[in-house]
Structure 1
Amino acid sequence: MITLGQILALLVVLWVSAYKRMRTGTALVAAAVVLVAMSFVWDVAIVPWVLLGLFAVVYFFNDLRKDKITLPIFKLFKSVLPPMNQTEKDALEAGDVWWDGELFKGNPEWSKLLSFPKPELSKEERDFVDNQATKLCEMVDDWKVVHEDKDLPPEAWEYMKKEGFLGMIIPKEYGGKGFSALAHSTVVQKLATRSGSLSVSVMVPNSLGPAELLLHYGTDEQKNHYLPRLAKGEEIPCFALTGPEAGSDAGAIPDTGIICKGEHEGKEVVGIRLNWNKRYITLAPVATVLGLAFKLYDPEGLLGDTEELGITCALIPTDHKGVEVGNRHYPMGQAFMNGPTHGKDVFIPIDWIIGGKDYAGKGWRMLVECLSAGRGISLPSSATATGKLSYRLTGAYSLLRTQFKTSIGHFQGVEEALARIAGNTYQLEAMRIMTAGAVDLSCKPSVVTAIAKYHMTELARSVITDAMDIHGGRGVIMGERNYLSSGYMSMPISITVEGANILTRNLMIFGQGAVRCHPFVFREMQAASNPDEKQGLEEFDSLFFRHVGYGVSNFIRTLTLGLTGARIVKKPVSGKTGRYYQQLTRMSSALAMVSDLSMMIFGGDLKRLERLSARLGDVLSHLYLASTVLKYYEDNGRPESDLPYVDWCVQRSLYEMQKAFLDFFNNLPMKGLGRVLKWMVFPFGTKYKMPNDKLEHTIVKPMMSDNELRDRITLDSYIGESDDDAAGRIENAFKKVLATAPIEKTLRKAMKDGSLTQSRTREETVKTAVAAGILTQEEADQYLDAEAARLDAIQVDDYSKEYIVNGAKNAKKSSQAAA
């Protein structure tokens, strides 16, 4: 007879085996050993041995298992597997799984994360950022670019070409810079702190475009012809993908190419007759070479038996007959070159396909793979620039602007907004560096870069909104003094391009991540679609039963970690942050369990339940966000000054994961299941909380003083040195006010103890203080100079009526600045 002790002993063995993720064979052997050991103490009933024997037979007798168990499941799986078109298949297969795979599997190997090399600039790259990038920033006045000239100055364009800004990603053997992804990101970030129009003009040729596509897929002839010209700026590239009827749904591209014979350079050749209508194409108005995506058809069978070949990419000189470029769109808040391109019955030779005719129909996969890398560099760098500029200048402005004789940064309401700017900027920098570092590891992490694009642009939107709220009228009045309005107005551009954020969150992060990051699902789908059914069954058999064990393990691990508060998880580091790794492991395990269960219940319908799947995507995203902060902290030597920022970022991410899980559970159609899952993940209730007021006060303090942390968080921001520069004016006044803070304190003390009477004006009060020996004349002059700089820094621009109506060319700016 089976006793309670026997049952408990077996349960412990199975529980530990599942928690430790032992192989099934190892777990069966362990159970047998326990049964043998128990036989020396108790009379062990036959039932446990029978059950163990059945499991052993199923596990060890492969042919029996495949025939009686796996084959029916395999057939059922194939029948319920949702249909997948080639576009979806290419999107799923494109890119690499990186750290996101560790986070999704439920038991991240944190030592692996910490062993990734610290992303760093080479000496050549650092010199370029410090010198050429700085000089280019000095050549550009964002107000003139956006509101007067509607273009970068000619000397800036020439300098960009001459110094290789347009060919940073092109290898040196083709005349390019051969820079790392981190260098590319850092240069764009620095330029973006000066001018969004400038940074976009540099980022586009270095992200998704002809150079990137040629490097990966171009023929030797194409590379040798175009890459040196692109590197030197002799050719200006653009890439036309988006049209009026095809944005995110690239499979709906109506632009067509028909393979046929035609005349080129006086000879009859096999080529493509193209018709296209594209819009939102950056650099198109000034481009000399057009990258074009279209659907290719071969009705005459000139290339083979297939008529509909699929999306294809080609390179076309813009001076080629029939190509239309030149007109411009007018993106809000910016003046970078962006416009439509059209073509009707344009004939090109077949070898203008990127990669040659062998790459006909392979364009979508090419685009997805290149976009996954570019998505992790261009927009994240711009978002980080928004954070850094807002952090540095809003902190300074909060000290300079006073109300009720107090700097506004000391008011708790303002401090709350400053804290979000501070924490989000630290998060942005950590995420920028780790994501760019992933690309430099010869990796194209499609899910990670989608996370970076969505969350970093949303964080930047939050930061610039808070910065505008704090600046008040100083932020909404446009003019040469305003360093926020252009970025604030143009924020929707970042939110929209390279996949609108609604799409990215609701379809890409979890929709792609659940399949690609899962250790078994994608391979099971591949096995089921294998045309060799015998081989497919063989692959599926191994994957399916390992998947079952994985699911059981996730169930046991999630419940165990919830009951123990994850304190049994081994910490990869000592100190306070070690506890965060434990909590993130707990959330990772919960995500693995809930995702597996959701895919089992909803199957292919899960991707259409966007609001549910997006919440699981939020959990995966915040696991990644927290990982980047912890990695950044370790890579920088665990500075004590950073710890409050680490606390703020990770605590917020844990809270957001908890919120996403609760929203998921509460909105499940099966209410009972939702309640059970909620108890399993949070058996003692919800414990994660947003950062408290004391912590937020701590992370705001460095924003309002001159210190190493402030400089490091805003590293590689462009701040002009002149008082006539929009950012320089604030920075210089900030440092002067800090330097004279002891003098201000002396005056206040004197007025408080009655030794000095406050006069009608500050100048008269200071003069009285000098006469009374409270201040020296040198101190008085220094103080009044700082006060004049402070007053100048908080002014806004005003213009004549003629300037407002007719623009700069027909009117002059008013010489006065209004308070």
Structure 2
Amino acid sequence: MTNVLLHILPIFGAFLLLAYWRAPLWLSSLLLVVATAVGVQTSAMPASVLIVVVVLLALINIKPIRRAILTGPIFGVFRKITPAMSQTEQEAVDAGTVWWDRDLFSGKPDFDRLHAIPQATLTADEQAFLDGPTEQLCAMLDDWKISTQHKDLPPEAWQFIKDQGFLGMIIKKQYGGKEFSNTAHARVVTKIATRSGSAAVSVMVPNSLGPGELLQHYGTDEQKNYYLPRLAKGIDIPCFALTSPDAGSDAGGIPDFGKVCRGSYTDPRTGVHHENVLGIRLSWEKRYITLGPIATVLGMAFKLYDPEHLLSDKEDIGITCALIPTEHEGVHIGRRHYPGTAVFQNGPNWGKDVFIPMDWVIGGKDYVGQGWRMLVECLSVGRCISLPAMSVASGMVSSYTTGAYSRIRNQFGLSIGRFEGVDEALGRIGGMTYQMDAAQRLALAGLDMGEKPSVLSGILKYHNTERMRKVINDAMDVHGGKAVCTGPRNYLAGAYGAIPVAITVEGANILTRSMIIFGQGAIRCHPFVLTELRAAMNKDLPAFDTAVIGHIGFAISNAVRAFVMGLTGAKLVASPKSGAMAQRYRNVVRFSSAFAFLADMGMASLGGSLKFREKLSARLGDMLSGLYIATAALKKFNDDGAPKEDLPLVAWAVDSALYDCQVAMDGFMANHPSRALAFLMRALVFPLGLSLKAATDTDGTKIARLLMEPSVARDRLTQYMYRSKDENDPVGVLEHALKAVIETEALEGKLRNAHRQGTLKSITAGERLAEALSTGLITTAEFAAVERARRLRREVIMVDDFDATLTFSDDNAIHRDILNQPKALDVVATAKVNMVESVKIATETRPVS
């Protein structure tokens, strides 16, 4: 028995090594045959064992035998249990491309490939637009007035947007557009969103999923030549109508319909009447359509039927997209929804038996029934840009304002940022902002390379908007009453009120997490699943056979890799970088293998029912998302030149993302219906227990500190934020106040100590400051610096108050300083005289050079 064990252990070790390195099937089989033969030769095991091994390996390696005995029966079962894909599901699966997400699904991400991806950068023209017209637009915007007085952007802002080409950023130059990169589009939206969410939405919609993008990809030459120049110049305002009262997230189930027929119409663009033309009689009711109330051209998605077979033999043509001038007879627009504090133009539209010519179908009659494919392909791009960019903006604003406010605001003689509860919130704000920006930067790099990463777009949409919710909540908590009471001085309430919009639109977050991320990712990114599904649908046994054998080897390899790395803490894994990030790269590799293994076990054990076990599917999606966010943060850090000042940010971002991945794995196994399989999965993935820790308090504190003072790290984190330099601006005053407070912290400490020791006996802080000057404790220059810092601090912490009808706010509340002002003002006057005298004396006694 001992001889057998001594012989089996090396064989088992060799098997683990080959599985870990994913050796081909023939090499592993050959090793096993040779090792068994040696065992028989040395009498360690009977000859019958060699016969069994050879027969089993022949069954696996000889394709005709394998198909007849093994994969053929599996194929028959697989075809029966695999649910059929609807046309809309098939088109969603086929939409877009797979990219870095495939590496994460592989269990062996290629970091050299990751770091070779070009950075998402701006051209000189794009940077000039960001620094010029975008800055000018931001300076024109007052979000309080937009949301409470105008209930829209002011006319001059709308005109500026049109004149400067904001509505045509994605339109090609040949049609009069800017032809900006996806990165530039996103950064413009981010900067505007740091000033006004309403303005950002108004700019981003024409440049996202809508008529402009659809026309460029699918429009006829006539449609492109007419509409694109008008859209680029803002002559036409576009909207796209997809959502119906009975079809929100289930866009494929829209009830709006059209029937192919012949009819007559008057073209509102030319006034020309047309008789007896082939077209569509259309009825619809849409809602939540951004820019719908003011649109001049209405993009429309509807189901098309051909009962008279005027186009084809099919009666149900499928989802179709058309462009309809809103002045066309029967089109009803103009009413508005009221989406909280983000008061952008949004509303319903409808029509009954409206006849449109076939020429108004996007792409003409050749593209009838192609609407769903068109939409999901464009959505895979748009979901990487607009809402994720607004989320990044919220993170930047929250980081910038909350960090400054935490240093400026004092309680118990300390800046509130020094308290660990606030420190913890600041760490989360900065860390999540780093994650959001990194996640979008990597996706933008892919988009600018021509990729359309549909799975990553779902990750970005869900996780960036959820992190937006978290950072704004933390920022609100730190600001307290200042953020609760709305008014012109409140720079957070607008973003807080707009959170539900971002969470809901472009696919509700609950649906995106529970059904889309893994549901689409498992099929598109897995190296074998899509091939298996297509082979089953096409009744292609040879293709299925090849895929299944590869899949089995893939699953075994990932199980072995996860187990070995779990035992060793991935210490033996090669890392592309040394230093503080090395182990984090290794952890990514470990968790990538573990995720790939768990995904395979989930699909193998639950089959098609996994689609309906949304909680488990969501956790698998969380694993993939955590891996993506961690690798995006590592990529951002590397692209930025690995600045040491950013180490706490990237450490927090990566550690937090991988910890979230671990939590999702633990939850998946804890809730898997097969307890025996769950036990096996846990033993392989976490042989030593849950080993990763959450982001440390130390890193959180370092992040809090860098947000609480001017620094290169803070500037990098908030790079695309609009910053007013005006002391009278609610956000602009923060930087002035922050610098003034930092410069006078030592003086304030000196004054407090003097008061505690009884040197300064006055009651109020203002009186003590005057007393300190009069007794010579501080100089006139120091007095002026403290007085200015206190004035700016008051400017920052003041909350708007209104008249009894809540109509008019008091812009001069800053000067209503009841406790400190009178005596302090007298001393200020004296101080100014003394300063003038000091300057005069110094000038008169200065030696001649």
Task: Map 1:507-518; keep pairs closer than 5 Å.
Answer: 507-518=515-526
The correspondence for 1:484, drawn from 492, 496, 499, is 492
Cα offset for 1:779? Answer: 2.0
Contact preservation (8 Å) 2:171, 2:212? yes
Q: Deviations over 1:225-267 (max 9, x none)?
A: 1111111111110000001000011121100010011113323
CA distance in 2, matches of 1:218, 1:42: 76
- The alignment partner of 1:796 has SS state of coil
CA distance in 1, matches of 2:525, 2:574: 23
Contact preservation (8 Å) 1:28, 1:52? no
Contact preservation (8 Å) 2:33, 2:54? no
The correspondence for 2:773, drawn from 770, 775, 784, is 770
Amino acid in structure 2 at the alignment position of 1:782:
A
Matched, 1:373 2:381: yes
Contact preservation (8 Å) 1:25, 1:59? no
Amino acid in structure 2 at the alignment position of 1:223:
K
- Aligned partner of 2:619 in structure 1 is 615
- The alignment partner of 2:347 has SS state of strand
- Aligned partner of 1:81 in structure 2 is 82
- The alignment partner of 2:335 has SS state of coil
The answer to which of 41-50 and 82-91 deviates more is 41-50
- Aligned partner of 2:4 in structure 1 is 3
- Aligned partner of 1:519 in structure 2 is 527
Matched, 1:350 2:353: no
Contact preservation (8 Å) 1:800, 1:814? no
Amino acid in structure 2 at the alignment position of 1:765:
R
Cα offset for 1:173? Answer: 1.6
- Aligned partner of 1:654 in structure 2 is 658
CA distance in 2, matches of 1:70, 1:328: 59
CA distance in 1, matches of 2:7, 2:523: 40
CA distance in 2, matches of 1:538, 1:690: 46
- The alignment partner of 2:64 has SS state of helix
The answer to which of 478-487 and 65-74 deviates more is 65-74
CA distance in 2, matches of 1:48, 1:568: 34
Task: Map 1:233-632; keep pairs closer than 5 Å.
Answer: 233-264=234-265, 265-530=273-538, 533=539, 536-632=540-636
Contact preservation (8 Å) 2:304, 2:318? yes
The answer to which of 182-191 and 429-438 deviates more is 429-438
- Aligned partner of 2:829 in structure 1 is none
- The alignment partner of 2:661 has SS state of helix
Matched, 1:780 2:783: yes
Task: Map 1:716-795; keep pairs closer than 5 Å.
Answer: 716-748=720-752, 750=754, 756-795=759-798
- Aligned partner of 2:168 in structure 1 is 167
- Aligned partner of 2:688 in structure 1 is 684
The answer to which of 505-514 and 686-695 deviates more is 686-695
The answer to which of 300-309 and 563-572 deviates more is 563-572
CA distance in 1, matches of 2:372, 2:94: 11
Cα offset for 1:50? Answer: 2.6
The answer to which of 45-54 and 159-168 deviates more is 45-54
- Aligned partner of 1:708 in structure 2 is 712
CA distance in 1, matches of 2:464, 2:197: 16
Distance 1:710 1:546, change over 3 A: same
Q: Deviations over 1:707-749 (max 9, x none)?
A: 1111111111112111221211223212221233343344345
CA distance in 2, matches of 1:300, 1:582: 63
Cα offset for 1:777? Answer: 1.1
Cα offset for 1:813? Answer: 5.1
Cα offset for 1:62? Answer: 2.9
The correspondence for 1:799, drawn from 802, 810, 815, is 802
Amino acid in structure 2 at the alignment position of 1:789:
L
* Consecutive unaligned residues in structure 2, runs of 5 or more: 266-272, 818-849
CA distance in 2, matches of 1:5, 1:413: 58
- The alignment partner of 1:178 has SS state of coil
Contact preservation (8 Å) 1:418, 1:700? yes
Q: Deviations over 1:743-763 (max 9, x none)?
A: 334434555676x42522333
- Aligned partner of 1:218 in structure 2 is 219
CA distance in 2, matches of 1:409, 1:375: 35
Amino acid in structure 2 at the alignment position of 1:370:
C
Cα offset for 1:87? Answer: 1.1
- The alignment partner of 2:553 has SS state of helix
CA distance in 2, matches of 1:9, 1:672: 28
CA distance in 2, matches of 1:319, 1:299: 28
Contact preservation (8 Å) 2:40, 2:46? no
The answer to which of 455-464 and 552-561 deviates more is 552-561
CA distance in 1, matches of 2:619, 2:628: 14
Cα offset for 1:596? Answer: 0.7
CA distance in 2, matches of 1:679, 1:69: 28
CA distance in 2, matches of 1:717, 1:621: 26
CA distance in 1, matches of 2:16, 2:434: 40
Contact preservation (8 Å) 1:799, 1:814? no
Amino acid in structure 1 at the alignment position of 2:353:
D
Q: Deviations over 1:479-511 (max 9, x none)?
A: 110001111111111000011111011111111
Contact preservation (8 Å) 1:524, 1:540? yes
CA distance in 1, matches of 2:341, 2:480: 18
- Aligned partner of 1:137 in structure 2 is 138
- The alignment partner of 2:579 has SS state of coil
Distance 1:669 1:70, change over 3 A: closer
Cα offset for 1:66? Answer: 2.7
Q: Deviations over 1:674-727 (max 9, x none)?
A: 223222211111122222322221111011111111111111111211122121
- The alignment partner of 1:274 has SS state of strand
Contact preservation (8 Å) 2:147, 2:341? yes
Contact preservation (8 Å) 2:484, 2:493? yes
Task: Map 1:653-672; keep pairs closer than 5 Å.
Answer: 653-672=657-676
Cα offset for 1:270? Answer: 0.7
- The alignment partner of 1:801 has SS state of coil
Distance 1:717 1:758, change over 3 A: farther
TM-score normalized by the length of structure 1: 0.95
Distance 1:473 1:659, change over 3 A: same
User: What is the aligned-residue identity percentage?
Assistant: 49
Amino acid in structure 2 at the alignment position of 1:180:
S
Cα offset for 1:332? Answer: 0.5
- The alignment partner of 2:114 has SS state of helix
Q: Deviations over 1:195-240 (max 9, x none)?
A: 0000000010011101111111112221121111111111110000
Contact preservation (8 Å) 2:186, 2:386? yes
Amino acid in structure 1 at the alignment position of 2:218:
Y
The answer to which of 536-545 and 22-31 deviates more is 22-31
Cα offset for 1:44? Answer: 6.9
Contact preservation (8 Å) 1:280, 1:338? yes
- Aligned partner of 2:833 in structure 1 is none
Amino acid in structure 2 at the alignment position of 1:13:
A
The answer to which of 56-65 and 745-754 deviates more is 745-754
Contact preservation (8 Å) 2:304, 2:320? yes
Amino acid in structure 1 at the alignment position of 2:314:
T
